[in-house]
Amino acid sequence: MAVSVPDLDKARAYYKDFLGFSEPFSLNNPDGSVSLAFIKVNDYQYIEVSPGLKPGDDRLKHIAFYTDDAERMRVYLASRGVTVPDSVPKGRSGNLNFNIKDPDGHTVEIVQYMPDGWAMRDKGKSMADARISRRIAHVGVLVGDANAAVHFYGDILRFQETWRGSSTGTVLSWINMHVPDGNDGIEFMLYKDLPAPDQRGTAHHLCLEVPSISSALETLQARAYAKTYSRPLEPRTGINRRRQLNLYDPDGTRAELMEPATVDGKPPVSSTAPLPR
């Protein structure tokens, strides 16, 4: 997941000093200033943080999914009517990648880590025990047209739907889907009317899996950064019956800590409420 921030130093302090992640590398502008900081969660998952957020802009820059063959994915997507570039370029970090758009206009990066790229060069490194989480379980994005999103991620990208939830019981709030060959996923945050771009920070989010919310809370409270963290740290049990703890970076972008299992070990029941529109 890639986000924009107005103050990179404040964001770095949150992700590194509070959440315990490392920054193994970054990309620089011609003048030497940082254009993109890579916050490492594990060997295949990163949070990319870029400075330069302007008033009124969406903090979400893009979401990314890994493939072992970017060119074959490009050809396949083209065959399904998705607009793709004419070729797969190699980025400055040494990996092959290209961007597409989902039905709601979110940029989706398809990335293939190359043996000589920075990610594989750093494989097995920069993963301190201080990390609050070892895995991004899902990324959450706003969705206005749920049927179009399900077609794009389900029928074309072959994600598998796992759960539907409602915060009210009268209208659907969330749809969860997993990648075809793993447990990582995407969560549709369903809206009838999408909020303004600069009001989407809490809906656009990343979910960080933790074994125990209570242990994670104790770890966070013991860190020096907690003295400067002004939001309440309030564990709760979500509609999906998993214990959760919401955290927010200095600009309000949410990180949802969540346990992998429900409180009683039983799978959550999907809602049959109608779509918002």
- Show the domains of the chain with their CATH numbers: 2-121 (3.10.180.10)
What pLDDT is stored for residue 198 in this prediction?
84
CA dihedral 178, 126, 33, 49 (to 10 degrees): 20
Q: What are the structure tokens assigned to 261, written together?
A: 């299992």
Q: What is the pTM of this model?
A: 0.96
Distance (Å, whole) CA 172 – CA 232: 28
What pLDDT is stored for residue 102 in this prediction?
98
Select from 121, 175, 123 the least CA-distant residue to 147: 175
Burial of 164 (0-12, 13-18, 19+ CB in 10 A): buried
What pLDDT is stored for residue 181 in this prediction?
92
pLDDT by residue for the chain (277 residues), tens only, comes to 999 999 999 999 999 999 999 999 999 999 999 999 999 999 999 999 999 999 889 999 999 999 999 999 999 999 999 999 999 999 999 999 999 999 999 999 999 999 999 999 999 999 999 999 999 999 999 999 999 999 999 999 999 999 999 999 999 999 999 999 999 999 999 999 888 888 887 899 999 999 999 999 999 999 999 999 999 999 999 999 999 999 999 989 999 999 999 999 999 999 999 999 8
